[in-house]
Amino acid sequence: MNIVVCIKQVPESTEVRVDPKTNALIREGVKSIVNPVDENAVEAALQLRDQHGGTVTVITMGPPQAEEALRHTLAMGADEAILLSDPASRGSDTLATSYVLAQMVRKIGDVDLILCGKQAIDGDTGQVGPGLAERLGIPQVTFAIGLEVTDGRLQARRVLDDFFEVLEVKLPAVVTVVKQINDPRHPSMKNVLKAKRAEIAKWTLADLAADPKQSGFEGSPTQVLKVWPPEKRSGGRRLEGSAEEVVDELAETIKGMKIASG
């Protein structure tokens, strides 16, 4: 079973600084990591490969330094990694990104399953996985917390707000996973050394026969007008004492604010 995992390199810090002029994230001085839930997707792929055989190919679209994120997944045990890095893909929104990733999957060819993390910690949209399935015209399952493959069909357990849902889909399909699906393995030192020397395929949009109008700024109907860090919460008061005292005091305070009636 051949599995493709789509990952994204993201800044490690949750305290992101934004360049006020370009609205872009300031990446200097911030360590880059594999988007955490994408590591769960890689782990899920490795487990399926270990059960059913086949290969795990990890792909990403990003700047040249995204190679480091791919190496980390190779160290975890992925078989191959492909980086699409092309200045013309800069500024891609989720629509354009899913287009480029779909073209990558098409070029890879014989793919049974595509796994993605639920969403990235920087953009937080959760749209690329579903977008990719639409682009490829194949079934999708989002928020998977469990996966099982039997005879070319995949059973996925989805975690929703108040319940689980079990879906069965035909392969190939796109599945996005949640953090609770597994505990990503630490890379073994032999794999760390192997990954350092591994050849990472580097593709450009030209290699994909991609329509340039569908990627980068041009292919992105979404424009980020402004990005700013949330204002830090200030003030606040900590109530102390027994539960009864605290509740009474809280009720009085809320009444005083005139936001609750009764």
List Cβ neighbours of 40 (8 Å cut-off, separation of 6 or more). 117, 177, 178, 179, 181, 182, 184
What CA–CA distance (Å, rounded) separates 81 from 65? 14
Residues that bind another protein (CB under 8 A): 75, 186-190, 192-193, 196
Cα separation of 139 and 175, whole Å? 9
Angle between helix axes 128-136 and 94-108 (nearest 10 degrees) is 50
Minimal distance, residue 32 CB to another protein, in Å:
13
CA dihedral 195, 109, 101, 212 (to 10 degrees): 120
What amino acid occupies position 152? G
To the nearest whole angstrom, how small is the minimum distance from the Cβ of residue 187 to another protein? 5
Cβ distance to another protein smaller for residue 193 or 247 = 193
Residues 98, 135: contact at Cβ < 8 Å? yes
Q: Which is nearer to another protein, 75 or 113 (CB)?
A: 75
Nearer to another protein, 40 or 176 (CB): 40
Give the shortest CB-47-to-another protein separation in angstroms: 15
How far apart are the C-alpha atoms of 213 and 103, rounded to whole Å? Answer: 13
Question: Could you tell me which residues come within 8 angstroms of residue 124 by beta carbon, excluding any fewer than 6 positions away?
Answer: none
Cβ-based nearer residue to another protein, 190 or 238? 190
Q: How far is the CB of 122 from another protein (least distance, A)?
A: 20
Nearer to another protein, 108 or 198 (CB): 198
Residue 184 C-beta: closest distance to another protein, Å? 10
